[in-house]
Structure 1
Amino acid sequence: MSFRLDGQVAAITGAASGIGLATVRALLGAGARVVLVDRDAAALTRLQAELGPDALPLVLDLLDPAQCARLLPGVLALTGGRLDIFHANAGLYVGGDLVEASHEAIDRMLQLNVGVVMKNVRDVLPHFIAQGRGDVLVTSSLAAHFPTPWEPVYASSKWAIDCFVQTTRRQVFQHGIRVGALSPGPVITALLADWPAEKLAEAKAKGSLIDPAEVAEVALFMLTRPRGMTIRDVVMLPTHFDL
């Protein structure tokens, strides 16, 4: 069974850290060229030096509408007009009691977790339709499948994006385009810094956290299935995580 992506080009948002960076490493290891999309210019410069010429940095703040609209043109300019895989991974987290969340924090999170994902996918689809194939992956969350009481805002954004993945897939599968979502439980990333302290301490004590590299391995598996197979949803749970 092949897990290779030789000759393919991927673009990953939120690529400078966490699941995004782990997926960059996995796809590079499988032979792809990867465009790293992130707002952290310094981090992308360091990563390009570390990862080599097949890692192509694209500095964008996706919360800025004008910069968000430049994603596809920027990717194609770096890759000579090629894109085979788009991974919408960038996201924000708002946890805790709803009454403690500010309007600004809610707006930013919903814009990045939902609005930006929809706009980015909308922009890459014509390119994929024209070439008769393409893969779209979206980083969702276990929160899309379980009404997590300590994160009503975040969970709502992931429920919305899970619906988006399923409905969009049904619109575009006839064009040879696969659309799927990765839904991990708690992953060891900077997003956990906003978890309730007692919940994070409990998860660490139980060993109920996932490493980003484990999520990236699943992403690579999804992308390397035969073209006649779409893996639409993968829910990844730490073995010791108790719902």
Structure 2
Amino acid sequence: MQNTQQPRTDLQGKVAIVTGASSGIGEAIAEELVKRNAYVALTARREDRLQELEQRLRGIGNAEILTVPGDVSKPEDVQQLVNQTVQRWGKLDIVVANAGFGYRAHIVDGDIQRWKNLLNTNVYGLLLTLKYGVQKLLENGSGHVIVTSSIAGRQVTAGGAVYSGSKFAVNAIAEALRQEVGQQGVRVTTVEPGAVVTEFAEVAGYSSEVIEAIKQMEPLQASDIARVIIQALEQPAHVDIAELTVYPTKQTGQGVFANTDKRQQ
């Protein structure tokens, strides 16, 4: 039988942008890319955390790293990120659209400004990242977009209306993009993690009961998600893993929120 196996994509020398890189999944995927000798441009709003990450990653080896502090909800910041990346390395191959945050509150109790901030980052910021980043991939005639979503984009629970709504939108945007650019050789992968150990839960305002329930189910590490993303990136060019849903083994459905997220009267 003839061996028709296609070569896997070598990430050495590939140029990647990672948004939301200062912690969690963004930080972990940046590290995995650097380990594979990719050139990585990092962005997040927390400049001090970016600088700390850059110093740590430079200890891995001959790391090629660019840090561009910024806010993905601001068009000028995203344009600056993309332009500086291309000026530095002459091209762009990978866009990891990871920036985002959560917020849990019942609709009648929700903070309007937090709603706006969440939607600006999770949805509008994603659109800006894709708009300016994918333009460069199309110029190459190839590339890969990784979009970090969540199982909340499939499952809705009380208290999760706005965050889940944003992730349903993320999934729709990513699928539309896949249909728009696939014929031009650009792959799009949406990653939907379950419970992950990051700063996310506390920042999102999860109750202590929910945080404890997450701990009990042996949650995923950010590095687990990063490795899955690498597997998608390394597939042969004709293979696009469109969706990756990754759960902790002990997480079944939406049970982590079902009985622990009651509205405070």
The yes-or-no answer on 1:115 pairing with 2:121 is: no
**Residue 166 of structure 1 corresponds to which residue in structure 2?**
175
**Residue 204 of structure 1 corresponds to which residue in structure 2?**
215
**Residue 74 of structure 2 corresponds to which residue in structure 1?**
64
Contact (CA 8 Å) 1:3, 1:220: kept in 2 or not? no
Contact (CA 8 Å) 2:15, 2:89: kept in 1 or not? no
The yes-or-no answer on 1:189 pairing with 2:198 is: yes
TM-score, normalised by the number of residues in structure 1:
0.94
CA distance in 2 between partners of 1:32 and 1:103 (Å): 40
CA distance in 1 between partners of 2:123 and 2:27 (Å): 21
**Residue 20 of structure 1 corresponds to which residue in structure 2?**
26
TM-score, normalised by the number of residues in structure 2:
0.87
CA distance in 2 between partners of 1:33 and 1:211 (Å): 24
Amino acid at match of 1:123: Y
Moved more, 5-14 or 197-206: 197-206
**Residue 107 of structure 2 corresponds to which residue in structure 1?**
98
Change (3 A) 1:9 1:144: same
Contact (CA 8 Å) 2:15, 2:94: kept in 1 or not? yes
Amino acid at match of 1:48: E
Give, in angstroms, the shift of residue 70 of structure 1.
Answer: 2.2
Q: State which of 224, 239, 242 in structure 1 corresponds to 2:249.
A: 239
Change (3 A) 1:13 1:217: same
**Residue 176 of structure 1 corresponds to which residue in structure 2?**
185
Moved more, 116-125 or 224-233: 116-125
Unpaired stretches in structure 2, ≥5 consecutive residues: 1-6, 254-265
Give, in angstroms, the shift of residue 3 of structure 1.
Answer: 7.0
Give, in angstroms, the shift of residue 69 of structure 1.
Answer: 3.3
CA distance in 2 between partners of 1:123 and 1:203 (Å): 36
Contact (CA 8 Å) 2:97, 2:147: kept in 1 or not? yes
Amino acid at match of 1:81: G
Amino acid at match of 1:121: L
The yes-or-no answer on 1:51 pairing with 2:57 is: yes
The yes-or-no answer on 1:220 pairing with 2:230 is: yes
CA distance in 1 between partners of 2:156 and 2:47 (Å): 36
Contact (CA 8 Å) 1:132, 1:175: kept in 2 or not? yes
Amino acid at match of 2:51: T
Moved more, 196-205 or 20-29: 196-205
The yes-or-no answer on 1:124 pairing with 2:133 is: yes
Moved more, 60-69 or 151-160: 60-69
Change (3 A) 1:204 1:92: same
Moved more, 26-35 or 15-24: 26-35
Deviations 1:2-31 (A, max 9, x none): 574111011100111100000001111112
User: How many pairs align?
Assistant: 241
SS of residue paired to 2:196: coil
CA distance in 2 between partners of 1:122 and 1:93 (Å): 23
- RMSD value, Cα: 1.5
**Residue 97 of structure 2 corresponds to which residue in structure 1?**
88
